[in-house]
Amino acid sequence: MNTTSIRRAIVPGIAVLALALSGCGASNDSGSDSDSDSGSNSGGEKLSGTLNGGGSSAQESAMGVWRAGFQSANEGVTVNYDPVGSGTGRENFISKAYSFAGSDSALSTDEGELDSAKERCGGEDPIEVPAYVSPIAVVYNLEGVDELNLSPSTIAGIFDDKITTWNDPAIAEDNPDADLPDTTITPVHRSDDSGTTKNFTDYLAKAADGAWSYDADSIWPKQGGEAAEQTSGMVATVKGGDGTIGYADESQAGGLGIAAIGVGEEFNKPSAEGAALVLASSPRTEGRADVDMAIDIDRTITESGAYPLLLASYLLACQHYDDANEAALVKGFLAYAVSEEGQQAAAEQAGSAPLDSELADEAAGVVDKIAVK
């Protein structure tokens, strides 16, 4: 054997060696958590298989946390979540392409989604549990102003281009002690289709006493004005200008001024407890089954400490599945997502607000009903 043929064998040899070693490494990692009882199924049996779901992109980071937790507790399980958007997620759930879906809004009745979902679930009501709650912060960048109170009608006036400077009497009324400059206000909205926009416009439509004349919409209803792509673009745009104001997920609003919004007589900043309080106090949507926890968020709540400007995202599933393994996987995964451990993990790593104990218990009870047909 001459040196040329040895040299030729080196590169492929190294490649094969690397592949073999990485294969060994992967199986070693996942073998260590089998003694923890995090997220494993109640029967103590090993779950395995692939679980397919998708939908809301707002839930994407929380889903990553839940997948990591669930997969590490149940080796042999692969959970796939495709953040294609809530609308497509619901459609794919109805068409049985997904076993479960994440959606920023509950299945709607006026477009027949609820009926189609009932059909998909073999004539039974589909399960909808709130799993991801994220407060939406009104963020602003104004030099010299660190604290800002804004009542809902003032916010509506600002974003409707009716209030154009920071020292407008309406804002001064909410902030009697603040020294407001006469900088022009530049409201920033999201240019893309967004659940955050939908919840923000819903809040303005319901809480602003008629100052906001548009319907709730996931695409910004006004034409014109500064627009930004995605939450990261929104935060960067508000940071990049003086006198800008926008709305973004509270977990991503670091470094920006956050306004306290008017709730009843007080002004409250975004908080996990405030959001959980609103969800717990809000009525359920009319005409839904017990397993369908669709909530009509009460944006006009006046309870102390409440923060009604929030995004609540649901997990959709069926009560019964044809395949036993599919049922077990959906049940196990959803149970993990709404469990205290799953909610805490999501709060820490994805910045969501954990469900309060009542809602979490109810959700866990609903998920427990999932079984094979």
Partner 1 sequence: MSATTEAEPQASPPRARGDRIFAGLSRGAGIAILVALAAVFVFLAIEGVPGISKPASNYRPLDSFVPYVGRLLFGTIFAGLIALVIAVPFALGIALFISHYAPRALAAPVAYVIDLLAAVPSVVFGLWGARVLGHYLVPAHRWLDDHLGFIPFFKGPASVTGKTVLTAGVVLAIMILPIITAICREIFAQAPRLNEEAALALGATKWEMVRLSVFPYARSGMVSAIMLGLGRALGETMAVAMVISASPVYTLNMISNTNPATIASNIASSFAEATPDKLAVLIATGLVLFVFTFGVNFAARAIVTRSERKFER
Work out how close the CB of 107 gets to partner 1 at its nearest, in angstroms, rounded to a whole number: 14
Say how many residues make up the chain: 373
Measured distance CA(373)–CA(371) in Å, rounded: 6
Half-sphere exposure of 189 (CA within 13 A, CB side): 25
The answer to whether 217 contacts partner 1 (rule: CB under 8 A) is yes
- DSSP code of 246? E
What backbone torsions phi and psi does residue 108 show, to the nearest 5 degrees?
Answer: -90, 150
- Of 136, 228, 256, 259, the residue at the interface with partner 1 (CB under 8 A) is 228
How many Cβ atoms from other residues are within 10 Å of residue 232's Cβ?
12
219 binding partner 1? (CB under 8 A)? yes
Number of residues that bind partner 1 (CB under 8 A): 36
Asked if 102 touches partner 1 (CB under 8 A), the answer is no
Among 75, 168, 192, 266, binds partner 1 (CB under 8 A): 192
57 or 319: CB nearest partner 1: 57
Largest alpha-carbon pair distance within the chain?
90
Q: Does 103 bind partner 1 (CB under 8 A)?
A: no
Residue 53 touching partner 1 (CB under 8 A) = no
Pick 218 or 352: Cβ nearer partner 1? 218
- Chain positions 55 to 94 lying near partner 1, rule: CB under 8 A, are 57, 83-88, 91
If one asks whether residue 33 binds partner 1 (CB under 8 A), the answer comes out as no
Under the binding rule (CB under 8 A), the answer on residue 242 touching partner 1 is yes
97 touches partner 1 by CB under 8 A: no
Cβ closest to partner 1, residue 62 vs residue 334 = 62
Alpha-helical regions (H) of the chain? 3-29, 60-73, 86-94, 113-120, 152-159, 169-174, 195-207, 230-240, 272-281, 324-338, 340-350, 357-368
Span from 9-17, 143-151, 218-226, 257-265 in contact with partner 1 (CB under 8 A) = 218-226
Both tokens of 284, joined, read 């359920």
SS3 234: helix
Residues 123-182 that bind partner 1 (CB under 8 A): none
The DSSP-derived string for 336-352 is: HHHSHHHHHHHHHHH-P
Which chain residues interact with partner 1 by CB under 8 A? 57, 83-88, 91, 184, 186, 188, 191-194, 217-229, 233, 236-237, 240-244
